[in-house]
Structure 1
Amino acid sequence: MKIRTYLALMAGTVLVPILVFSAFALDMLVDDERQAAVRSMHELARATSLAVDGEMTRLDGVVRALATSRLLAAENFREFYGQAVAANVGRGTQMTLFNQGGQREFTTVIPYGKPLPPLPASNVERARLVLEQSGTQVSGLIQGRVTGQYLCAVELPVTLASGKRYLISVWNYASFFKKLLPVENVPGDWLIGVFDKDGMTVARNRGNDDYIGKPPRAELLAAIRAGKTGEIRHVSRDGVPIYTALVRSPLSGWTVAVGVPIADIEAAARRSVMLAAAGLFAAIACAVAAAVYFSLRLTRSIGSAERAAVSLREGKVPPDARTEVHEIDTLLAAMHQTGVVLDSVQRERQSLLDDAQERRAMAEEQNRAKDEFLAMLGHELRNPLAAISSGIAVLDLDGTPADSARRARDIIKRQCGHLTHIVDELLDASRLISGKVVLYRTAVDLGEAARHCLGALQMRAGGKLQHHVTTTISSVMVEADPTRLEQMITNLLENAFKYTPSGGTVHLRVERSAEWAFLHVQDSGIGIGVDLLGTVFDKFVQAPRHHRGQSGLGLGLAIVRALARQHGGDVTAASGGQDQGSTFTIRLPLALVVPAEQGESMPAAERAASGNILLIDDNDDVREMLAHALRHDGMEVSAAATGLDGLALAEQCRPFAALVDIDLPDINGHEVAARIRAREAAQPHGAQPMLLVAVTGYGQQSDRRKALAVGFDEHLTKPVDMGALRGVLARHAATTRTTAVNDHAGPPA
Structure 2
Amino acid sequence: MCFQQKSVRRSNKTKLPLDLGAGLRNQSINFSLNVFGDRTLTLKWHLVLLVAGTLLPVVFFAVAVVYKLSLNERAASERRLVLAARNLTQDVEREVSSTTRTLQALAASDRLDNNELKAFYNEAKRTVQTQPTWFNVILLTPDGRQLVNTSYPFGASLPLVNEPESLRYVVKTHQPTVGYLVLGGVKRKLAFPIRVPVIRDGKLRYVLNAVITPQALASVIKTQTPVDGEWTRTVVDGRGIVVARTRSPRRFVGKPSTPSFLKRITATTEGVYRDTTLEGAPVYLAFKRASFFDWTTAVVVPIEMIENPTRRAMWLVIGSGLVLLVVSGVGAFMLSHRISQGIAEAADAAEALAQGEYPCISPSSIQEVALLGKALEMSADLLAQRQRERDEHLTQVEAARTLAETANRLKDEFLITVSHELRTPLNAICGWAQLLITGRLNPEKTQQAIAIIERNAKIQAQLVNDLLDTSRIIIGKLRLEPQPLNLATVIVCAIDSVRHAAEVKNIDLQLQLAQVDLVLGDPNRLQQVVWNLLSNAVKFTPQGGRIEVQLQQANSQVEIIVRDTGVGIKTEFLPHVFERFRQADGSTTREFGGLGLGLAIARHLVEMHGGTVQADSEGQGKGATFTIQLPVMVSKENISTAPIKPVEPKNLHRLEGVRVLVVDDETDARDIISAVLIQQGAEVRTCGSAAEALKEVLAWKPTVILSDIGMPQEDGYNFMQKVRQWEREVGVHIPAVAVTAFTREEDRLKAIAAGYQTHIPKPIEPTHLATVVASLIADIKV
Question: Normalization by structure 1: what TM-score?
Answer: 0.54
Residue in structure 1 matching 2:736, options 684, 692, 699: 692
Residue in structure 1 matching 2:664, options 613, 617, 636: 617
User: What's the CA shift string for 1:243-283, capped at 9, x where partnerless?
Assistant: xxxxxxxxxxxxxxxxxxxxxxxxxxxxxxxx999969856
- Kindly indicate whether residue 729 of structure 2 is the aligned counterpart of residue 668 of structure 1: no
Identity among equivalent pairs (%): 31
* Superposed counterparts of 1:661-740, under 5 Å: 661-684=708-731, 689-736=733-780, 738-739=781-782
User: What's the CA shift string for 1:179-227, capped at 9, x where partnerless?
Assistant: xxxxxxxxxxxxxxxxxxxxxxxxxxxxxxxxxxxxxxxxxxxxxxxxx
Residue in structure 2 matching 1:405, options 439, 442, 446: 446
Pairwise CA distance, 1:16: 10
Tell me which residue corresponds to 1:566.
Answer: 608
Tell me which residue corresponds to 2:347.
Answer: 288
With a CA cutoff of 8 Å and minimum separation of 6, indicate the structure with the bigger relative contact order.
2
Residue in structure 2 matching 1:471, options 497, 511, 514: 511
Residue in structure 2 matching 1:500, options 511, 518, 541: 541
Pairwise CA distance, 1:361: 2.1
CA 1:409–1:578: 2 relative to 1, 3 Å? closer
User: What's the CA shift string for 1:388-436, capped at 9, x where partnerless?
Assistant: 1211220232533343333323322322222211111111122235542
**Structure-2 separation of matches of 1:576 and 1:418:** 30
Tell me which residue corresponds to 1:485.
Answer: 526
Q: Is the 8 A contact 2:510 2:548 kept in 1?
A: yes
Pairwise CA distance, 1:707: 1.5
State the one-letter code of the partner of 1:715.
H
Tell me which residue corresponds to 2:489.
Answer: 448
**Structure-2 separation of matches of 1:648 and 1:276:** 106
- Kindly indicate whether residue 642 of structure 2 is the aligned counterpart of residue 583 of structure 1: no
Pairwise CA distance, 1:561: 1.0
* Superposed counterparts of 1:207-226, under 5 Å: none
Residue in structure 1 matching 2:415, options 374, 387, 393: 374
Q: Is the 8 A contact 1:660 1:693 kept in 2?
A: yes
- Give secondary structure in 1 for the equivalent of 2:752: helix
Pairwise CA distance, 1:488: 1.0
**Structure-2 separation of matches of 1:16 and 1:656:** 114
State the one-letter code of the partner of 2:709.
I
CA 1:5–1:382: 2 relative to 1, 3 Å? farther
Pairwise CA distance, 1:376: 0.9
Pairwise CA distance, 1:620: 3.6
Q: Is the 8 A contact 2:495 2:531 kept in 1?
A: yes
**Structure-2 separation of matches of 1:733 and 1:693:** 12
Tell me which residue corresponds to 1:314.
Answer: none
Q: Is the 8 A contact 2:505 2:542 kept in 1?
A: no
Q: Is the 8 A contact 1:608 1:731 kept in 2?
A: no
Question: Normalization by structure 2: what TM-score?
Answer: 0.52
**Structure-1 separation of matches of 2:44 and 2:626:** 93
Residue in structure 2 matching 1:395, options 422, 425, 436: 436
- Give secondary structure in 2 for the equivalent of 1:541: coil
- Give secondary structure in 2 for the equivalent of 1:538: coil
Q: Is the 8 A contact 1:521 1:583 kept in 2?
A: yes
Bigger mean CA deviation after superposition, 381-390 or 497-506:
497-506
**Structure-2 separation of matches of 1:491 and 1:291:** 98
**Structure-1 separation of matches of 2:695 and 2:462:** 36
- Give secondary structure in 1 for the equivalent of 2:577: coil
Tell me which residue corresponds to 2:636.
Answer: 593
**Structure-2 separation of matches of 1:537 and 1:509:** 21
Q: Is the 8 A contact 1:605 1:731 kept in 2?
A: no
State the one-letter code of the partner of 1:504.
G
Pairwise CA distance, 1:607: 4.4
- Kindly indicate whether residue 727 of structure 2 is the aligned counterpart of residue 650 of structure 1: no
Pairwise CA distance, 1:445: 0.8
State the one-letter code of the partner of 1:679.
W
Tell me which residue corresponds to 2:402.
Answer: 361
CA 1:572–1:283: 2 relative to 1, 3 Å? closer
Tell me which residue corresponds to 1:420.
Answer: 461
**Structure-1 separation of matches of 2:776 and 2:339:** 114
Pairwise CA distance, 1:653: 1.0
Tell me which residue corresponds to 1:638.
Answer: 685
Structure 1 residue runs without a partner (length 5+): 19-274, 294-321, 740-749
User: What's the CA shift string for 1:519-540, capped at 9, x where partnerless?
Assistant: 1111122222221121111112
**Structure-2 separation of matches of 1:386 and 1:479:** 42
User: What's the CA shift string for 1:656-714, capped at 9, x where partnerless?
Assistant: 21111112223321222233233333445xx5x32311011111112112222332122
- Give secondary structure in 2 for the equivalent of 1:502: coil
Pairwise CA distance, 1:342: 4.9
Tell me which residue corresponds to 1:554.
Answer: 596
Tell me which residue corresponds to 1:132.
Answer: none
Query: What is the aligned-residue RMSD (CA, Å)?
Result: 3.9
Tell me which residue corresponds to 2:154.
Answer: none
**Structure-1 separation of matches of 2:349 and 2:710:** 100
* Superposed counterparts of 1:185-264, under 5 Å: none
CA 1:396–1:338: 2 relative to 1, 3 Å? same
State the one-letter code of the partner of 1:381.
L
Tell me which residue corresponds to 1:213.
Answer: none
- Kindly indicate whether residue 574 of structure 2 is the aligned counterpart of residue 530 of structure 1: no
State the one-letter code of the partner of 2:512.
T
Tell me which residue corresponds to 1:254.
Answer: none
Pairwise CA distance, 1:338: 5.2
Structure 2 residue runs without a partner (length 5+): 1-26, 46-333, 353-362
Pairwise CA distance, 1:605: 1.4
